[in-house]
C-alpha cells in the first residue's frame, strides 16, 4: 500500500489542490474521447475499411470500438473503485492517469489497415479497452476527491468542476480537430494529421501525474476507512438508482456533444469544418451552464436543477434537431440551437457528480458512484453513436438522435423525482 502524502497547507489550499488534481484527469479522458468521436470518419477509413468496404459499415465498426471501451468502464470502476475504497483515492488516481496517458499516446503511433491489415482494428480496440478501464477508475476517484475536500455547503460547486473539465476536454479535442482541419489538406489530415491530437496527450498526462504525486489523501477517507460498510444489496440498489438518474445526462450529452459531427456529415451533408463548428458551439453551451448549475444546486437542491435540464431535453430535442435539418434556417439560428442543446445538458451535468457522491458513504463511495456513472455511460453514451447511426441507416429517419435523447431523459425525470427536494439522497459522511 502506498502511504498518503503528508498533509500540508491550509484547508482552502488543500481543497484547491485537490480540485486541480482531480480535474486534470477528467480533461485528458474527455479530450481523447472527443478527439476519437470527432475523427470517427477518418479513423473508420484508416482502421476499419478494407479494400471494397463501405464507408457506413466502417463507421458502424468504429462506433462499435467506441462502445466497447465504454463497456469496460464498469469493469474499471469496480476494479479501481474497490482499490480506492481500501487503500485510498490518491494511489489509485496516480495509477489510472498513467494507464490512460499510455493508451491514448499509443493510438497516435498505431499502424493502419493498409500497413498491417486486419491486425490494425484489433490493436486499436485493445487500446480502447485499456482506456475504458482507466476511465472507469477515473470518475469515481476524481469526484470522491473533489467532494470530500469540498468546504461545507459547496459540494455541488466542487463536483461541478468534474463536468466542467469534461466540457473543456471536449472543447480541447474539437479545437485541435478544427485547427488541423484548417491548416492541413484533407490528404494530410487523413494520412498523418489525425495522429497529432493523440500524441499531445503525453505531455498533458505527465503534467497530471506530477500534480497527483503532490496530492494528499482525503480527510474523510483517512478518518472513516475502518467504518463498517453498508449491506451489498443496499449499495447495488443505490448504484441502479444513480445510473437511472444520470442516464439522460449520459445519452443527451454524448448525442449533442460528440456524435453530432458525424451525424451532420453523414445525414445532413455538412462539411467536416461545419460539423466541428457546430460541436464547438454545443460544447460552449454545455460549459457555460455547468458551474452555475452546480452552485445553484447547493442552494436549491440537486433535484430542482437536474429535473429542469432533463425536462427541457424532453421538450426541446425534436424542435432543435428540426432547426438543424431545415435548409431555410439561418446559420445564426442553427448556432443558437446547438448552443442551447449543450446548455440544457449542463443543467444535469453540473449537480450530477455531487448528487452521486451524496448517495454513498465514504467506505463505498469510490466504487458506488464510479459504477453508477460507468454503467450509465456504457449503455447510453458508449452506444449512442452505434445506435443512432445504425437506426438511421435502417429506418432512414433523421430524427433518431432527438428521439434517443428525449426518451432517455424522460426515464431520468422519473428517477430524479425520487430525490429529496433539498439535496442528497443520503447525507455524505
d(CA 388, CA 402): 10
Q: Determine contact, residues 105/205, Cβ cutoff 8 Å.
A: yes
Residue 217 gets which letter from DSSP?
A: -
Question: Which tens digits make up the pLDDT trace of 151-191?
Answer: 888 999 999 999 999 888 878 887 888 888 889 888 888 88
In the chain, what are the domains? 11-217+230-416 (1.20.1250.20)
pLDDT band, residue 58 (cuts 50/70/90): low
Q: Which residues contact 328 (CB under 8 A, 6 or more apart)?
A: none
Place of cell 499509443: 106
Q: Determine contact, residues 199/106, Cβ cutoff 8 Å.
A: no
Question: Which tens digits make up the pLDDT trace of 356-399?
Answer: 999 999 999 999 999 999 999 888 887 777 788 788 888 888 88
Residues recorded for the chain: 429
Q: How far is CA 83 from the centre of its chain?
A: 22
Q: Output 63 or 416, whichever has higher pLDDT.
A: 416
Place of cell 472507469: 136
| Residue closest to 106 by CA, chosen among 201, 177, 194 | 201
From residue 355, alpha-carbon distances to 6, 121, 223, 329, 351 in Å are 30, 38, 22, 38, 6
Amino acid at each position: 500500500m502506498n502511504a498518503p502524502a503528508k498533509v500540508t497547507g491550509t484547508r482552502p489550499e488543500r481543497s484547491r489542490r485537490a480540485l486541480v488534481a482531480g480535474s486534470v484527469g477528467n480533461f485528458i479522458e474527455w479530450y481523447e474521447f472527443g478527439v476519437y468521436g470527432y475523427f470517427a470518419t477518418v479513423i473508420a477509413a484508416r482502421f476499419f475499411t478494407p479494400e471494397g468496404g463501405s464507408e457506413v459499415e466502417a463507421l458502424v465498426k468504429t462506433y462499435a470500438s467506441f462502445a466497447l471501451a465504454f463497456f469496460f468502464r464498469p469493469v474499471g470502476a469496480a476494479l479501481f473503485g474497490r482499490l480506492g475504497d481500501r487503500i485510498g483515492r490518491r494511489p489509485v488516481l496516480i495509477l489510472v492517469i498513467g494507464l490512460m496517458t499510455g493508451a491514448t499516446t499509443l493510438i497516435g503511433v498505431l499502424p493502419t489497415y493498409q500497413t498491417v491489415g486486419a491486425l490494425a482494428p484489433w490493436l486499436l480496440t485493445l487500446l480502447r479497452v485499456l482506456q475504458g478501464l482507466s476511465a472507469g477508475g477515473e470518475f469515481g476517484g476524481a469526484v470522491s476527491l473533489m467532494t470530500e475536500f469540498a468546504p461545507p455547503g459547496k459540494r455541488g460547486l466542487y463536483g461541478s468542476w468534474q463536468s466542467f473539465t469534461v466540457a473543456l476536454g471536449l472543447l480541447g479535442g474539437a479545437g485541435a480537430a478544427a485547427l488541423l482541419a484548417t491548416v492541413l489538406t484533407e490528404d494530410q489530415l487523413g494520412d498523418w494529421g489525425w495522429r497529432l491530437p493523440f500524441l499531445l496527450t503525453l505531455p498533458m498526462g505527465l503534467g497530471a501525474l506530477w500534480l497527483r504525486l503532490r496530492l494528499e489523501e482525503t480527510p474523510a477517507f483517512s478518518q472513516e476507512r475502518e467504518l463498517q460498510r453498508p449491506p451489498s444489496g443496499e449499495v447495488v440498489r443505490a448504484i441502479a438508482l444513480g445510473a437511472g438518474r444520470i442516464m439522460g445526462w449520459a445519452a443527451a450529452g454524448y448525442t449533442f456533444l460528440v456524435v453530432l459531427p458525424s451525424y451532420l456529415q453523414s445525414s445532413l451533408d455538412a462539411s467536416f469544418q461545419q460539423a466541428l463548428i457546430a460541436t464547438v458551439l454545443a460544447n460552449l453551451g454545455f460549459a457555460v451552464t455547468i458551474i452555475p448549475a452546480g452552485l445553484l444546486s447547493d442552494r436549491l437542491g440537486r433535484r430542482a436543477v437536474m429535473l429542469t435540464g432533463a425536462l427541457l431535453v424532453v421538450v426541446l430535442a425534436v424542435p432543435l434537431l428540426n432547426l438543424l435539418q431545415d435548409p431555410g434556417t439561418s446559420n445564426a439560428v442553427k448556432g443558437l440551437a446547438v448552443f442551447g442543446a449543450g446548455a440544457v445538458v449542463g443543467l444535469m451535468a453540473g449537480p450530477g457528480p455531487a448528487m452521486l457522491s451524496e448517495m454513498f458513504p465514504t467506505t463505498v463511495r469510490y466504487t458506488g458512484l464510479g459504477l453508477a456513472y460507468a454503467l450509465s455511460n456504457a449503455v447510453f453514451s458508449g452506444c449512442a453513436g452505434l445506435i443512432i447511426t445504425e437506426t438511421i441507416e435502417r429506418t432512414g429517419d433523421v430524427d433518431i438522435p432527438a428521439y434517443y435523447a428525449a426518451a432517455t431523459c424522460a426515464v431520468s425525470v422519473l428517477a430524479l423525482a425520487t430525490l429529496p427536494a433539498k439535496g442528497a439522497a443520503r447525507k455524505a459522511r
